[in-house]
Homo-oligomer: A and B are copies of this chain.
């Protein structure tokens, strides 16, 4: 089995992106699966091009994209990506689309193809706080999740894809009062647990456990 794991470069004035730091720290193999690591630019459009080329070249079984969600408390696998770019800040090349459709012939939204409940359970059992998120926002993270799922639905039916958002690193919040963070080690531990769950649930249905939100 081959799993493509991607992380964005730093954005929004940060010098590090925890997503990329996590990707760098992953082993090259987990439970027999090859881990292919890819850096992706935090740029609308261009990020999707880099992703498409990597999927074409690597033909992975799974794509797990990782992005920074500054302010979150936990590792949060995303449930759904929506067909909309609405940037609160410019991306790394200055693009700031407002309420733009991503793919004219795409679905309004795509659901993650990963076993979300099993991933959350595995991360918690590893001692790492985790829960499902029902919105990946409307910036480049949602964009790449949507674009990747558009690809797996339109061109690569044998590839399954999904996204996980991760908190700031501790050193990113020393001047941000009231903002949660998570150590790099715990993030890596959590992402490895998630990858193990993906492997264990390959070809199976996800767990049926409580994990929704009232709002």
CB within 8 Å of B: which residues of A? 12, 67-74, 79-80, 82, 84-89, 96, 98-99, 107-111, 117, 124, 127-131, 133-139, 141, 165, 170-171, 173-183, 185-186, 206, 208-215
Kindly report how many copies of this chain are found in the complex they form together: 4
* Residues of B contacting A72 in the complex (Cβ-Cβ under 8 angstroms): 215
- Tell me if B186 and A98 are in contact (CB < 8 A): no
Report if A212-B174 is in contact (Cβ < 8 Å); known contacts: A134-B138, A180-B180: no
Q: Shortest CB–CB separation between residue A38 and chain B, in angstroms?
A: 20
Q: Shortest CB–CB separation between residue A25 and chain B, in angstroms?
A: 14
Residue from the list B89, B107, B117 in contact with A214, Cβ < 8 A = B89
* Residues of B contacting A208 in the complex (Cβ-Cβ under 8 angstroms): 98-99
- Tell me if B171 and A141 are in contact (CB < 8 A): no
Report how far A174 CA is from B125 CA in the complex, Å. 9
Residue from the list B86, B129, B181 in contact with A212, Cβ < 8 A = B86
* Residues of B contacting A129 in the complex (Cβ-Cβ under 8 angstroms): 170, 173-174, 176, 181
Closest to A116 in B: B99
Interface centre among A131, A177, A213 (most CB of B within 10 A): A213
Residue from the list B87, B139, B175 in contact with A215, Cβ < 8 A = B139
* Residues of B contacting A183 in the complex (Cβ-Cβ under 8 angstroms): 182-183, 185-186
Q: Shortest CB–CB separation between residue A74 and chain B, in angstroms?
A: 8
Report how far A179 CA is from B212 CA in the complex, Å. 18
Q: Shortest CB–CB separation between residue A149 and chain B, in angstroms?
A: 10
Report if A174-B215 is in contact (Cβ < 8 Å); known contacts: A109-B80, A135-B135, A179-B73: no
Q: Shortest CB–CB separation between residue A83 and chain B, in angstroms?
A: 8
- Tell me if B212 and A138 are in contact (CB < 8 A): yes
* Residues of B contacting A127 in the complex (Cβ-Cβ under 8 angstroms): 170-171, 174
* Residues of B contacting A179 in the complex (Cβ-Cβ under 8 angstroms): 73
Report how far A186 CA is from B88 CA in the complex, Å. 26
Residue from the list B82, B117, B175, B215 in contact with A80, Cβ < 8 A = B82
Report how far A139 CA is from B215 CA in the complex, Å. 7
